[in-house]
Amino acid sequence: MTTDVINNYLSIQENIKKIRVNKKVNIIAVSKTFNMDQIAPLIGHGHLHFGENKLQEAFYKWSDIKSNNKKIKLHMIGKLQSNKAKKAVELFDYIHSLDNEKLANVLSKSEHSLDKKINYFIQVNIGNESQKSGIPLNLVDQFYTYCSLELKLNIIGLMAIPPNDNNTNKHFQFISEHNSSLNLPELSLGMSSDYLIALKYEATFLRIGSAIFGKRN
């Protein structure tokens, strides 16, 4: 298992280098549902960015490790309820699922009370799908202005999960262009199945789980 994880990780790095020669790309190893025995080889290899989608699981797995290794950066990539926002600010360094005004308000207050600033991606519902979270496309600019100017949240980019409609290139191009129009430096785009496409559209953070760790139970 240890060898497989490292080999998978190195293979993904090689794939990235073929497409993005001189630009920095961050792999978020999505470690949700995997135990620390499976994750530890990557930490030992020097990898720093890890993603979780459940607050309770993340605290259980990462609290001690982050206390002992300040370089590790933890990413919240799942839906975040506003009543859990303060705990998320305590543990995480990045939140990729900022998707409504109520949550933004609570996160801002939590930052003040904890005296801690973290990084945010605005989740965009790029396909306007009723079952998915995210800000509707027509409200992204307004929401970004509110979060960054009114609340002083450190919005570093947009995040999107494309619809499963065989138009991934079109969706990625659109979100990339919108990200650029806001002059945002980062873009959270691409997962195990489509990260190579995301690289063509300036993604800087890739959320990759099963391609590194294997299938989830």
Q: What does pTM read for this prediction?
A: 0.95
Is a pLDDT exceeding 60 seen at residue 1? no
Q: Per residue in 32-46, pLDDT tens?
A: 999 999 999 999 999
Q: Over the stretch 101-128, which tens digit does the pLDDT of each residue have?
A: 999 999 999 999 999 999 999 999 887 7
Mean pLDDT of the chain: 93
Question: In the structure, what pLDDT confidence band is assigned to residue 63 with cuts at 50, 70 and 90?
Answer: very high
Q: Mean pLDDT over residues 73-86, rounded?
A: 95
Model confidence over 128-155: pLDDT tens digits?
Answer: 766 778 899 899 999 999 999 999 999 9
**Distance in angstroms between the alpha carbons of the first and the last residue of the chain:** 15
Report the CATH number at residue 132.
Answer: 3.20.20.10
Domain span including residue 139: 2-213
- Structural domain count of the chain: 1
Average pLDDT of span 17-22: 82
Give the per-residue pLDDT at 163.
86
Backbone phi and psi for residue 33, each to the nearest 5 degrees, phi listed first:
75, -10
Which is nearest to 182 in space by CA: 147, 206, 151, 133?
A: 147
DSSP letters, 58-86, are HHHHHHHHHHH-TT-EEEE-S---GGGHH
